[in-house]
Amino acid sequence: MKRSKINAIMRDALAFLDAQGFSVPPFVLWSPEDWKNRGAEYDEIRDTMLGWDITDFGSGDFFRTGLLLITLRNGSIDDARYKKTYAEKIMIVREEQVTPMHFHWSKMEDIINRGGGNLMVRLYNADDDEKLADTPVSVSMDGRRQTLPAGATVRLRPGESITLTQRLYHSFWGEKGCGPVLTGEVSQCNDDRTDNRFLEPIGRFPALEEDAAPLFLLCTEYLRAE
């Protein structure tokens, strides 16, 4: 992805968050120059990958296959310094912008429509070979347990949520004609380097083309404190 495009996506995201009345932590707005003066006391941000996460999943077309996430809090399974057992993200899902089919081996999560349009979520169980199973899917949506056919798509309207358990394949996008979706995620500790199983082999983090100076750093770009 071109850095200039990432910068534009960030600006659009901040305008949308402001319109939705959602405030971000201070570190989300630190410039690359600000980061040069942030010492080891901020290693939790670096090590648990808090902040901006923008990806086109290697598609080359962010607006068709892509996602903007901001990790607000996170712990670590492996690092005893970070004792949080939970994580939280805010995401912006555009109309018909698809996050590809995937599941998590370790993480269970709630996906929440925080406002804006409607979020569409398609669901499959994983079989023993980590392919799509044709078995019914059992999910909880805002405390209601229900069983759905394999490949069912559910609609989350603002305020609604779904619980996604381990090894439950899911893909999601914003419903056409309803506007972008302010999407929340509350989960167990998150590790996007190791805990995503995509149905098709794709890249989780984008390759960057540096055609402009970065507006803000991505969570994969933090340098260690000197």
Predicted confidence at residue 97, as pLDDT, reads 98
> Looking up tokens 């669901």, which residue turns up?
123
pLDDT at 118: 98
Alpha-carbon gap, residue 141 to 172, rounded angstroms: 15
The predicted structure's pLDDT at residue 9: 98
When pLDDT is cut at 50, 70 and 90, the band that residue 77 belongs to is confident
Structure tokens at 53: 């996460």
Q: What is the mean pLDDT of residues 25-48?
A: 97
pLDDT in tens, 120-138: 999 999 999 999 999 999 9
CB 68 within 8 A of CB 11: no
List pLDDT tens digits, range 81-111: 999 999 999 999 999 999 999 999 999 999 9
Q: How confident is the model at residue 226 (pLDDT cuts 50, 70, 90)?
A: confident
Per-residue pLDDT tens over the stretch 63-72:
999 999 999 9
pLDDT digits (tens, 9 = 90+) for 164-210: 999 999 999 999 999 999 999 999 999 999 999 999 999 999 999 99
Is the pLDDT at 18 greater than 90, yes or no?
A: yes
Closest CA to 45 of 24, 18, 62, 66: 24
Tell me 65's DSSP state: B
Fold classification of 3-198 is: Jelly Rolls (2.60.120)
Distance (Å, whole) CA 225 – CA 203: 28
- Choose among 63, 47, 59, 103: nearest CA to 206: 59
Rg (CA), the chain: 17
> Quick one: pLDDT at residue 207?
92
What confidence category does residue 19 fall into, taking pLDDT thresholds of 50, 70 and 90? very high
pLDDT over 80 at 26, yes or no: yes
